[in-house]
Each structure stands twice: as C-alpha cells, then as structure tokens.
Amino acid sequence: MQRLRKPWSDHRAELLLGAVSLSTGLVVLFMIAFVAARAWPTFAHNGLGWLGPGGSLKVQVENMLATSTKPPASAYHVRAWPIVYGTLLITALAVLLALPLAVLSAVFIVELAPTALRRTMIRVVRLLASVPSVIWGLLGILVLVPFVGNHLVTASERTSLQNTVQLTGAGLAIAVVLLTLMITPIMVALTCDALATVPPAWREGAAALGVNRVRAIRAVTLRAVRPAIVAATVLATARALGEAIMISMVSGSVFFSPRPGDGVAFLFEPVRTLASTIVDFREGLGGAPALNSTLYAFALLLLFSVFVLSLAGYLVKLPLRKYQVRG
C-alpha cells in the first residue's frame, strides 16, 4: 500500500501505456493470423478464382453442408461473385448518395447555420452516427419492407420476373437507403471537424478580395478540406463494407445479382453481401469444415479490404498536414 500512495514515475506510466497499446497491435495481428489460417483451405482449393462467377452459390453452400466432417476437395468449390458484386454495388451506391448529402450538410452546419442551430445539429449528427445498426434493421423490416413491397413494387414487375427472382420488397433499395442513413452522419461529423479547423484568416482574406460567401466556401474552404472529405469517404466506405446485421435483415436473403437491365425492378431485387452472408450462415460456423472455411474466407476478404481502406484514409490525410489543417 505504501508504494501505491507514491505518484507513478513517468517511466512506469510509459511502460504500462506502451504495453497496453502494443497488446492492441498484437490482438490485430493474432486476429488476422487466426482468420487467415481458418480461411486457408478455401484459398488452397480455389485459388483466387473463388472471387469470380460460376454456378449457383446456393448449391455450392448446400454441397459444403452435405459433406460435414471429412469433406472431399470438391466440397470446397465456391464462386462467390454474386455476394462480391452485391457488396460492391450496395457500398458504391450508398457512398455515392451519402457524399453530396454529407458535404452539403457539413457546409451548412459549420459555415451558414446560426450558432445555436449549429450546436444542436452537431449533437444530433453525432447521436445519429451512434445508432446501432440493428435499430436501422428493425426500422427496415417493420416499416420499409412492407411499405416497398405493398406500394412501390408493381404487379407487372412481380409477374414479369416471377421465374427469375421474387420481389417481396426486401432488397437493394432499402439496404442502400438505410446504409446511406448510417454512413452520412459519420461523414458529416468528420467533415465538420475539418471545416472547423480551416483558419478564419483564409475566409476573411477571400471576403477582403470581394468574393461572396458561396464562392468563398467553394474556392477556399472546401478546397482546403478536400483531403478530409476523401478521408471521411474512405472511412464511411469501410463502415459500409462491413455492415452485416442490418443488410441481413432487409436485403431479401437470396444469392442473387441484381440486374440493372430490369429497369426500376432492379432496385427491388434481393441481394446478399459478404458480411450479411456470414450473419445468415453463422449457424454453420464451427460445423461443416468446408462451409466454415468459406465463411472465414469471406471474413478475410472483408478484413483485407477494410485495412486497405483505412491505410488509404491515412495516406490521403497526409497532405492536410502541409496546410497545418487537422482532419
């Protein structure tokens, strides 16, 4: 007890904090190694070809389950293109929708809104950013799916596609809308932070030159925070890529690649992503080795993409330092 009473020396505190941060790094390394080891059989049997198209993913998953404890090499056969495509499609659409929304709201909040409104808005945005995804999923399945299914999908769309795909309402459109709602607040918050760090002198300089407010925002402020906007987009993309439970609840749970050629019906077609497939088949984890390894391969691909994205996010923020603006 005597020793506890003494203030800690800098050296001891340094060692303790260092050990803690080092262990986070170790956890990340261990996680990658663990997932990679579990995913290895899938890579060994399919190479990188499993990312491509070919055959029915539903049948392939059923084959994995049918062989259980000692799977033959053929059980590992998988071509995951429908869900890779689904992941890219949902993420790209959501980020494209969220980007203009986020930049415009951030500019309004920081540059144009009166102080009282600005403070409230920032709080609301941070609150929205922290809504758990399962809440969005519930909103989707209880409100949006019945609405879209009963009011937006037309009888002729349903009938013309009835031998290709079922349009129940759950599908691409709802997943994209909810995902946009989930990632926009994150992007708004990050962009707001960056906008707030733009030196006031720059704006004043623009005003002194006789530039009006909107032009100054476009030419000076937004230009200065461009790297921060890219960084926010990259982080939001990573968030969107990994979203699992909400998408599993509202996207129709079918291995189907939505076809843009189907016109408006394209928006209502069901889709699965890498992450939502892991959620849908979580019951198989620890069971049939072939399915197990395949799910881990999906997870490894997600981990890899998210790491690449966060590295990219870091790199694009570097130029900000040049202007001594923190992103």
Residues constituting the chain:
327
Q: Using CB under 8 A, which of the segments 79-87, 141-149, 226-234, 317-325 binds another protein?
A: 141-149
Closest by CA to 272, choosing from 80, 104, 123, is 80
User: CB under 8 Å to 33, separation ≥6 — which residues?
Assistant: none
Minimum CB separation of residue 58 from another protein in Å reads 5
Does position 20 interact with another protein (CB under 8 A)? The reply is no
Q: Based on CB atoms, which residue is closest to another protein, 21 or 150?
A: 150
Closest by CA to 178, choosing from 301, 273, 262, 257, is 273
Q: Based on CB atoms, which residue is closest to another protein, 50 or 255?
A: 255
Q: Based on CB atoms, which residue is closest to another protein, 184 or 251?
A: 251
Q: Classify the phi-psi angles of 72: left when phi > 0, otherwise alpha if psi is within -120 to 50, otherwise beta.
A: beta
| Helices marked H in the chain | 2-5, 10-46, 57-67, 81-107, 115-129, 133-139, 145-147, 155-160, 172-196, 200-208, 213-216, 222-224, 226-242, 245-250, 274-280, 289-322
Report whether 144 contacts 249 (CB < 8 A).
Answer: no
Does position 197 interact with another protein (CB under 8 A)? The reply is no
Q: Based on CB atoms, which residue is closest to another protein, 51 or 65?
A: 65
Lookup result for tokens 């570097």: 318
d(CA 249, CA 145): 10
Q: Using CB under 8 A, which of the segments 164-172, 187-195, 201-209, 229-237 binds another protein?
A: 164-172
> Site residues for another protein, window 248-287 (CB under 8 A)?
248-249, 252-255, 270, 279-287
Q: Based on CB atoms, which residue is closest to another protein, 67 or 197?
A: 67
Does position 208 interact with another protein (CB under 8 A)? The reply is no
Does position 166 interact with another protein (CB under 8 A)? The reply is yes
Q: Exactly one of 230, 288, 302, 309 binds another protein (CB under 8 A); which one? A: 288
Tell me which residues touch another protein (CB under 8 A).
Answer: 1, 4-5, 7, 56, 58-59, 61-62, 65-69, 141-142, 145-146, 149-150, 155, 158-159, 162-166, 168-170, 248-249, 252-255, 270, 279-288, 291
